[in-house]
Amino acid sequence: MINLVGWGHNMAFMRYSDWWRMHRRMFHQYFQPRAVPAYYPVQMRATSVLLQQLHKSPADFVHHVRHHAGSVIMKTVYAYDVNPNGDRFVELVDQALESMRLVGTVGAFLVDYRWFPGANFRSLADTWRKDVEDMKDKSMANDFVEPSFVSENLAKTKEIGMLENARQLEIIRNTAATVSVVLSAILAFILYPEIQAKAQAELDTVVGSTRLPNFDDRPQLPYIEAILSEALRWNPVVPMGVAHRSVNADVYRGYYIPAVIGNAWAILHDEKDYPNPLVFDPERFIPEDGKELQPYPLAAFGFGRRICPGRYLALNSAWIAIASIAATLSFSKAVDSEGSILEPSDTFTDGFLSFPMPFECTIKARSSQAQVLIESGKL
């Protein structure tokens, strides 16, 4: 089904091969840890817009979080400035993302096994493939005016026949990761107000109230870092992982390695490593005397050589967003017209990609000073 929809040449779904390694090397060059600080200004500007949108129209917070993630990706990959008041490219990414959410889970459609008479997967695939192709084609329609990942590799890709795949990259996967983590953090702030209060206290001490957090503050904000890690663990964006497996069963140093598919959700909710795994608890990742730290949730990004190469960019986008919204805004449970509290659910969508189930919340500026900071757009 992945091939029918048009995702077959996306690096995340390719078979391990020389072709895949070529893509991986090119991507790693621009999104490795030493390279991603170049994108800090883009992420800071996008976060400033996010704060303004959340304050102006809080009911549309899910749309704003998606817009924030999409704007960072489109700027870094294509040097394209997303329209903050609504953008066709972000809409296309959302539509293509939905197709990936539904078809990415192995076995979700009978075509993953064999032809099955009467199945409707072909008509669904045709519809979703159009969304994927529109996203790829329209994103390259304009001339490049600024350096970007694609523009700097355009000559190379023409020479080695990789232009089509360079267009695809991992836009959807990285956008989804940022969106899922930020929405999970917002949901946690509502369900666990004491966590929000502790995060805000740390930010007040380190950053103060006259500016927004920046990446230089990150080493001094361990609790914000722990919230990011716990959001990754609590709801991994790709809970069942990308459907790769060992090519063949093997034995390594006496260990039998079957040809299986990794299950990120099961790994990150194993009670032996993460006691009370369904509870959102950033303290898991805070070092204390005599306390054993719980494992960093790296499985949220895949395994081994197939681990997501865009994870550093996605994590940075999520970190600056979480730090900034906690510094300037307060999140609480929504109240209906009769004054009754609307209890949000701590459940998540199923499918290849996972996000919090739709919920409502109240979003307000923490103070008049925070409101001025949001409206001024100071970085």
Whether 181 shows a pLDDT value over 90: the answer reads yes
Split at pLDDT 50, 70, 90, the class of 378 is low
* 9-13, 25-29, 145-149: which is most confident: 25-29
Per-residue pLDDT, averaged over 215-241, amounts to 93
Per-residue pLDDT, averaged over 58-87, amounts to 85
From residue 360, how far is each of 3, 166, 236, 339, 346 by CA, in Å?
36, 38, 21, 14, 12
Split at pLDDT 50, 70, 90, the class of 31 is confident
Per-residue pLDDT, averaged over 78-98, amounts to 70
Q: Which of 21, 16, 7 is nearest to 244 (CA)?
A: 16
Whether 167 shows a pLDDT value over 50: the answer reads no
Q: Where are the alpha helices (DSSP H) in 207-310?
A: 222-234, 264-268
Per-residue pLDDT, averaged over 260-264, amounts to 77
Whether 331 shows a pLDDT value over 70: the answer reads yes
φ, ψ (nearest 5 deg) of residue 142? -95, 155
Lowest-confidence pick of 107-111, 270-274, 280-284, 340-344: 107-111
Question: Is 361 known as a binding-site position?
Answer: no
User: 106 versus 230: which is more confidently predicted?
Assistant: 230
User: 118 versus 311: which is more confidently predicted?
Assistant: 311
Q: What is the dihedral of CA 83, 210, 320, 35, to 10 degrees?
A: 90
Split at pLDDT 50, 70, 90, the class of 213 is very high
H and E: helices and strands count for the chain: 14, 4
How far, in Å, CA of 301 to CA of 118, rounded?
A: 36
Instruction: Say which amino acid occupies 102.
Output: L
Name which CATH class applies to 2-376: mainly alpha
